[in-house]
Amino acid sequence: MTQDGPVISLRNLKKYFKVYKKEPGLLGSVKSLWHREYEEVKAVDDVSFEIQPGEIVGFIGQNGAGKTTTLKVLSGLLYPTSGEVSVLGYNPWDRKAEFQKQFALVMGQKNQLWWDLPAMESFLLNKAIYEVPDTQFKKTLNKLMALLEVEDIVKIQVRKLSLGQRMKCELIAALLHNPKVLFLDEPTIGLDVVMQKVLRDFIKAYNEEFGATIILTSHYMGDVKELCKRAIVIDHGHKIFDGELEQIINRFARNKILSLVLSKKVTHKELQAYGEIREYDYPKATILVPRADAARLAGKILNELEVADVNIEEPTIDAIIRELFLSQSAKRKK
């Protein structure tokens, strides 16, 4: 089946939770027995976006931003408070079997494998649950095992595997039915850098091989940078950016970085006249300058100071996003 138009479509999605607040201490606990103050938490507030077939989209946000809640609504675990949601043409919370056979949700912190048995046994159970024909099962399993290089470990008890090995097996279990849509929630959490790279390469290969649409949330910007052209940034339930990852630099980076190698020592005060000093350890100095003035200030430095080398650099996406979140929380505090 080919999908015309977006695979995933969200319009004005809202998901609010009611939580109650309690005063600390025993008295607070006793009081809360008959009087509870409820507060509405807007986990997702008026979020809209569309995702086209085959896209890999990075879903970026701080803890509690609403990323996982959105994924849970998209996979039918949660009912939205309001808004329209369509995944592969289905309402996810109808939880129709035809829909469930076409997507997979992988949560880095949860496991679905039988703990006391080799992962292969769980694969066979998923084969029965998803009604995967024998030939397709063998073909997909062999392909996935080869991509992840796990031929040997699938026969070992899951509880004896390392976190990275277990995550590989979790991915295989989730992908045996060839889902068209894949929701990956922190798939590389807790893994070492080598294993992170292995999983990233695998996700990329899976996307290319099966044309799957993937939404990925991760705290590691490396995951997003390596896998996603497009990013959606969410903060306190609000979407604050949706576009190509590179655009985040143009849109949110207020500064550029001037990296200098000085030939003659200058004071902090003299250097400060050109911009905000980030690092100064003679002869090397790094200063932040407003983006629009970067070229002019670089010229000025070359004229006024004795400099061996000047470089104008863009800040890293990680730094921009960190700055973006900090500025958002500063705005909220105001």
Partner 1 sequence: MKQQVFKYLRVYGQISELAIKTLLEYRLNAVVQASFGFVYFAGLFIILQTVFAKTNSLGGWNKAELMVMLGLTSVNWGFIETFYFGNLRRFMMVGVANGTLDSVLTKPVSPQFLISFSQPNMGFVAHPLGLMLFLIYWLWQVEDSITLSSLLSFLVVMIASSIIVYTVFLSYAALAFYLTKSSQTIRALQTLADHAQYPTAIYPFPIFIGLSIVVPIAFIGYFPTVFLFGRGNSLLLSLIVSFAVITYLFSKIIWRISLRRYTSVSS
Cα angle 165, 179, 90; round to 5 = 140
For residue 140, how many C-alpha atoms fall within 13 Å in the half-sphere facing its CB?
Answer: 21
Which residue in 77, 156, 305, 319 binds partner 1 (CB under 8 A)?
A: 77
Q: How does DSSP classify residue 320?
A: H
Is residue 72 a contact point for partner 1 (CB under 8 A)? yes
Cα angle 208, 139, 135; round to 5 = 135
Q: By C-beta, is 114 or 280 nearer to partner 1?
A: 114
**Three-state secondary-structure class, residue 266:** coil
Shortest reach from residue 74's CB to partner 1, in Å: 11
Amino acid at 38: Y
Is residue 41 a contact point for partner 1 (CB under 8 A)? no
Is residue 128 a contact point for partner 1 (CB under 8 A)? yes
Task: Name 82's bridge partners.
Answer: 14
Which residue in 131, 134, 152, 281 binds partner 1 (CB under 8 A)?
A: 131
Shortest reach from residue 219's CB to partner 1, in Å: 11
Quote the CA–CA distance of 173 and 127 in Å, as a whole number.
Answer: 9
Note whether 10 and 48 are within 8 A (CB).
Answer: yes
Q: By C-beta, is 125 or 240 nearer to partner 1?
A: 125
Which residue in 11, 86, 124, 226 binds partner 1 (CB under 8 A)?
A: 124
Which residue in 105, 175, 214, 258 binds partner 1 (CB under 8 A)?
A: 105
Quote the CA–CA distance of 10 and 167 in Å, as a whole number.
Answer: 29
Which residue in 157, 272, 311, 329 binds partner 1 (CB under 8 A)?
A: 157
Is residue 112 a contact point for partner 1 (CB under 8 A)? yes
Which residue in 42, 101, 225, 254 binds partner 1 (CB under 8 A)?
A: 101
Phi, psi of 232 (to 5 degrees): -115, 125
Measuring CA to CA, how many Å separate 135 from each of 40, 64, 177, 316?
50, 42, 12, 46
Which residue in 13, 49, 66, 68 binds partner 1 (CB under 8 A)?
A: 68
Residues that bind partner 1 (CB under 8 A): 17, 64, 68, 72, 75-79, 95, 97-98, 100-101, 103-105, 107, 109-110, 112, 114, 116-117, 121-122, 124-125, 127-131, 157, 185-186
